Amino acid sequence: MSGWSDIRSGVAGQRSSLVESLKRPDEVQLRLLQRIIDRNRDSEFGQRYDFHSVRTIDDYQRRVPLHNYEDFRADIDRMMEGEKNVLVADDVQLFETTGGSTGGSKSLPLTDAAFKAIRRAVLPWLDDLITSRPGISGGKAYWSLSPALRRQSHTSGGIPFGIANDAAYFGPDLAQSIGSTLAVPASVASIQSFSEWRSETLRHLVGCRDLSFVSVWSPTFFLHLLDAIADDIELIASNVDPNRGVELQEAFSEEPIQWQRLWPMLDTISCWCSSSSRRYAKELAARFPKTNIQGKGLLATEGVVTVPLADACAAVLAVDSGFYEFEAENGEVVVPWELEPDQTYSVLLTTEGGLYRYRLGDRVLVVGQYEATPCLEFMGRHGGGSDLCGEKLTEEFVESALGDIPGFGFLVPIVEPRPAYLLMLDEAIVNPDLEQAAANIADGKLMDNPQYRYAREIGQLPPIEPYRIADPLGTYKSICMQSGQGLGDIKPAALASADWGEQFGKAIAL
């Protein structure tokens, strides 16, 4: 297809450029940090922390403390009102909004330099992907990067919220080429009605027999679309080409559904594959056994951390896209070339969009090295655990404990009337005869945690109580969206935080 040919030409050489940087991360990181410091030395933030005297990484670390979002909020609020030269000297092109699992929303500035930093990661990834998986260029693509159903708006200072078209992340030179490959027109993303957006998305996807590439954040997002297709297949089949309708009926006439027959050219699905998304990525792999499931790198709204390359053992640190530090569990802060294998760290990010030594909140495990740069696996959110009575359950541990439980289920800590855990199960998948067995399995596996076992043995915690509800994933997503997350950004967790108990209890009328 001509669109893919133009994309291939447009990204040619980007992978090689990144690989050269990966051979000398210390030089590249110091140069990038110095560029950020030099550009913003006369901003309010630069003057506040004496950027004029920063010459080395040590200088920067001595002068600038670690920051959370709240430390930047007042400055960002002023930037949203239109004030310039606050955190960055460059003009802010737009703000992106994100949110935690239960917290309020955060607004993050993106400058032209910040967009270029993103492209220095995503263009090498796309170059690598086209080279290693040439089958993706044989058909159409479905991209879901920005939240669906987002209404375009502006700050009080007139600065846009959100990017108008996902293809713009790849730059103006590629946006038109990428647009020509879309299975679902970009205009569908602007539909404000959820039912209409879903109907149009499904109609275009199902009608696209030559779908060859899917890029989404969460695998549950795509699984949700697949389930919606299954629910409405007769209606959808009646609104497509008759020959296509016959193919659909044949694919859905078998049990289980032959999803691969729906899109026989589907070469690659790019999505989160680690931490709480691991089991859902495996479900996608089971539905599409001939399709490559590629794990995405860690690309937060705040900035890029890692990028996947086909011949790397895991996503590799995107050394061209930000300045990175890592906080060890003992509080020690190290730079990339000081990371220790098999150790877990929290990410600190300095960006070209105005975040400095920012605690991203994501934890990564050092799993190897590519050239001279570490490869990192996303392990979950820092502090994203539960500790009702000293058991200190973590997201990844609970994820493992629930791995054999069918359907979407997750553990909810309850504080009142006494500490306890509820296991939410999908009543459409787990029947009443099996709910207690599911809870017992989870309870038994959690006993591998000695603090949990102790709390259970002395009666601080009762056995896990199963609770079957209709559409637990939908309820989970609804609460996340109410807290500020976009539909396509939601990462279903195996373990809810303690303050989720009240919210989820209200949602299911406990």
Q: What is the pTM of this model?
A: 0.78
Q: Cβ contacts of residue 305 below 8 Å, gap of 6+?
A: 297, 298, 299, 317, 318, 322, 324, 347, 349, 360, 362, 364, 376
Choose between 400 and 271: higher pLDDT. Answer: 271
Confidence of residue 503 (pLDDT cuts 50, 70, 90): low
Classify residue 57 by burial, with Cβ atoms within 10 Å: 0-12, 13-18, 19+: middle
| Distance (Å) of CA 237 to CA 241, 297, 391 | 8, 36, 51
Give Cα 368 distance to the centre of its chain.
Answer: 21
Give Cα 162 distance to the centre of its chain.
Answer: 16
Give the model's pLDDT for residue 75: 96
Indicate if the pLDDT at residue 365 is higher than 90.
Answer: yes
Instruction: Report the C-alpha gap between 309 and 125 in whole angstroms.
Output: 6
Choose between 391 and 339: higher pLDDT. Answer: 339
Give the model's pLDDT for residue 101: 34
Give the model's pLDDT for residue 140: 96
pLDDT in tens, 9-59: 999 999 999 999 999 999 999 999 999 999 999 999 999 999 999 999 999
pLDDT in tens, 261-295: 899 999 999 998 887 678 778 989 999 999 999 99
Indicate if the pLDDT at residue 417 is higher than 80.
Answer: no
Indicate if the pLDDT at residue 448 is higher than 50.
Answer: yes
Question: What does R_g of the chain's alpha carbons equal in angstroms?
Answer: 23
Indicate if the pLDDT at residue 396 is higher than 90.
Answer: no
Indicate if the pLDDT at residue 498 is higher than 60.
Answer: no
Indicate if the pLDDT at residue 102 is higher than 60.
Answer: no
Give the model's pLDDT for residue 150: 60
- Residue ranges and CATH numbers for the domains of the chain are 1-97+105-135+151-179+268-382 (3.40.50), 385-507 (3.30.300)
Only one residue has tokens 């998305």, namely 201
Question: For the chain, what is the mean pLDDT?
Answer: 86
Instruction: Report the C-alpha gap between 99 and 103 in whole angstroms.
Output: 6
Choose between 429 and 140: higher pLDDT. Answer: 140
110 contacts 303 by C-beta, under 8 angstroms: no
Instruction: Report the C-alpha gap between 345 and 348 in whole angstroms.
Output: 9
Indicate if the pLDDT at residue 509 is higher than 60.
Answer: no
Indicate if the pLDDT at residue 104 is higher than 50.
Answer: no
Give the model's pLDDT for residue 430: 82
Only one residue has tokens 């629930």, namely 402
Instruction: Report the C-alpha gap between 132 and 341 in whole angstroms.
Output: 27
Indicate if the pLDDT at residue 418 is higher than 90.
Answer: no
pLDDT in tens, 212-264: 999 988 787 788 788 888 888 777 777 777 888 788 878 888 888 889 989 99
Confidence of residue 500 (pLDDT cuts 50, 70, 90): low
Say which DSSP state 150 is in.
P
